[in-house]
Amino acid sequence: MSDSILVRVTLDAYDMASTGRQTQVYVQIPEVARASWLLPEDQFHGLQGRTWPEVLDVTHDYVTYGGAASNSSATAAWKAVMEWLRDDANREEMQAAWEQDQARRHPVARKLLAKVTELEAEREKLVRWHGEDGKAITRLVARVERRQAELVALRNDALNVRGSLSPNGEPRKVPFPLGETLAPAVDWLIARIAELEAELYTEQAHGRTFLEQRNAHAKELLELRARVAELEAEPTTVYRAEHPDSGITLGHYGTEVAARAHCEATERNAWPKGTLLGFDWIEDEEDGVAELAATVGHNQESVTGYIVTALEAPSEYDEEADE
């Protein structure tokens, strides 16, 4: 088995008994398991941009409710994978492996890593120049490197970052509109790093003391910390899967994909095995509700009564709201 953690999501005709394509989720964890699962074709685009732990979370829903094609060995492997993933340290290790994989494959991330290498070289020079001040410089550079690592993670986790930077119905969190990709935002951050480097060299040329430089950077780091606190305080969206006509609530999920999967699995189980079913979702953007419609065989499409509702969960308790 390979000595690295790896997850891959691909789209192809893997099932020879089927005329269509399937979404394959392949996972390998050294000393734990190596296996793959086949999901419906329409899940490919929803999984492709997610982090590896999130891909396994969504796949877990399909394995649990019978929506993923597998065999007995794959089922045993899946159990071993999920037991391993329940450990927070293991989950963080898989997240780090995904970030490294993205950094190797994405040109912007590679550019940021190269910038980190350049800054590390500058840090070594500053340590030699300032002697005892090197410890303070090291701490300052470490803070900058942590911020750069956060920027790389935010670039790769585009879906979550886009929701944080430009929430629906609220002002943008960045000083310019977001386009189809987040590359302009990353370019702006890279340009900001270049500006800070230019300011550092200018300050050295003008004979400013190290204490003045440290205070300037400390002020900027405090502003960034306040900005991070604002982003952390943003409300979280959860998705409720339910059948309101019968008063049944299936559950609450962190992703719309998982909530819809539960509704589809429940509706599928209500029909005899082998029944040809087709699903479609009718969305109402104003109230955030999506209703499941089904086509049975060659009959006309009809609603099933299952709905998924987007709910906003506050990040903090408001005692005055209960009065």
Buried b / exposed e across 263-299, counting CB within 10 Å, b at 16+? bbbbbbeeeeeeeeeebeeeeeeeebebbbbbeeeee
Of 223 and 319, the structure prediction assigns the larger pLDDT to 223
Regarding whether 82 and 15 lie in a shared domain, the answer is yes
Is pLDDT of 2 > 60?
no
Q: Enumerate long-range contacts of 88-97, CB under 8 Å, 24 or more apart.
A: 91/53, 93/5, 94/5, 94/7, 94/29, 94/52, 94/53, 95/51, 95/52, 95/53, 97/4, 97/5, 97/6, 97/52
Regarding whether 114 and 87 lie in a shared domain, the answer is no
Residue 300 is given by DSSP the state P
Is pLDDT of 269 > 90?
yes
* CA angle (41, 42, 44) in 5-degree steps: 75
Per-residue confidence (pLDDT) for residue 1, from 0 to 100: 42
Of 148 and 269, the structure prediction assigns the larger pLDDT to 269
Q: Is residue 1 part of a domain?
A: no
Regarding whether 45 and 115 lie in a shared domain, the answer is no
Question: Within 10 A of 220 (CB to CB), how many other CB atoms are there?
Answer: 15
State the pLDDT confidence band at 157, using cuts at 50, 70 and 90.
low
Residue 222 one-letter amino acid: L
Regarding whether 311 and 280 lie in a shared domain, the answer is yes
Per-residue confidence (pLDDT) for residue 148, from 0 to 100: 73
Per-residue confidence (pLDDT) for residue 274, from 0 to 100: 87
Regarding whether 89 and 50 lie in a shared domain, the answer is yes
- Write down which residue in 95, 127, 149 finishes a domain: 95
Q: How many domains does the chain have?
A: 3
- Write down which residue in 188, 205, 232 finishes a domain: 232
- Write down which residue in 69, 95, 121 finishes a domain: 95
Distance CA 75, CA 130 (A): 59
Of 11 and 108, the structure prediction assigns the larger pLDDT to 11
Question: Within 10 A of 170 (CB to CB), how many other CB atoms are there?
Answer: 9
Of 164 and 260, the structure prediction assigns the larger pLDDT to 260
Is pLDDT of 217 > 60?
yes
- pLDDT tens for residues 111-135? 776 777 787 778 777 766 665 555 6
Whether the pTM exceeds 0.75: the reply is no
Per-residue confidence (pLDDT) for residue 231, from 0 to 100: 66
Distance CA 127, CA 123 (A): 6
Residue 47, domain extent: 6-95
Q: Is residue 307 part of a domain?
A: yes
Is pLDDT of 139 > 80?
no
Regarding whether 89 and 30 lie in a shared domain, the answer is yes
Is pLDDT of 69 > 60?
no
Q: Per-residue pLDDT averaged across 234-244, rounded?
A: 87
Q: Per-residue pLDDT averaged across 137-158, rounded?
A: 71
Percent of the chain at pLDDT exceeding 90: 21
Is pLDDT of 176 > 80?
no
Regarding whether 293 and 258 lie in a shared domain, the answer is yes
The average confidence (pLDDT) of the chain is 79
Q: Is residue 100 part of a domain?
A: no
Q: Edge-to-edge, what's the strand order for the sheet holding 289-296?
A: 248-253, 236-243, 302-313, 289-296, 277-284
Phi, psi at 295, each rounded to 5°: -115, 120
Regarding whether 128 and 91 lie in a shared domain, the answer is no
Q: Which residues sit opposite 241 in a β-bridge?
A: 251, 308
